[in-house]
Amino acid sequence: MGSMTEKTIRKKKGVTTKAKKKAATARAVIRAGKGIVRINSLNLNAVRPREIKEFISEPLELVGPLSKEVTIDVSVRGGGFMGQAVAARTAIAKALFDFKPNEKLRQTMIAYDRLLLVDDPRRVETKKPLGPKARKKKQKSKR
């Protein structure tokens, strides 16, 4: 790679972050740009339903003018639509924080919602024998 500085690498490739929620995994790449946010190559404004779009764009509203100076590309795989939305939202928030680290911004994000900067550690419990799911069992009859 030669003697490329960190700034040059950041300018070319940007900063990459990852977030998970249940089975959904989101990877976000942030670089200097014009305020465009794409999720799986789809512009954020085209995301439907509207509530999901607003939910995903919460970190962009928290950072204010910084969101107009960057371009964010998010790829999300696995899980359902809500798990993907939560993972994408967390990946965007982590990317914004990593792009311009700021303790005040970190405190604001954590006060608003801790899941913006911390992945949800909960996962589906494994299935046990003698039942269709982890805890559900066949009903017993007393007579």
Instruction: Write down the residue that tokens 């003698």 correspond to.
Output: 130
CA-CA distance, 44 to 141, in Å (whole number)? 53
9 band by pLDDT with thresholds 50, 70 and 90: very low
For the 6-116 domain, the top CATH level (class) is: alpha beta
Contacts of 100 (CB under 8 A, 6+ apart): 66
Nearest partner of 29 among 94, 86, 83, 104, judged by Cα: 94
Beta bridge partners of 29: 16, 73
* Arithmetic mean of pLDDT over the chain: 90
Annotated domain spans of the chain:
6-116
DSSP state of 34: S
Tokens of 93: 């928030």
Read off the pLDDT of residues 16-38 as tens digits, 9 standing for 90 and up. 999 999 999 999 999 999 999 99
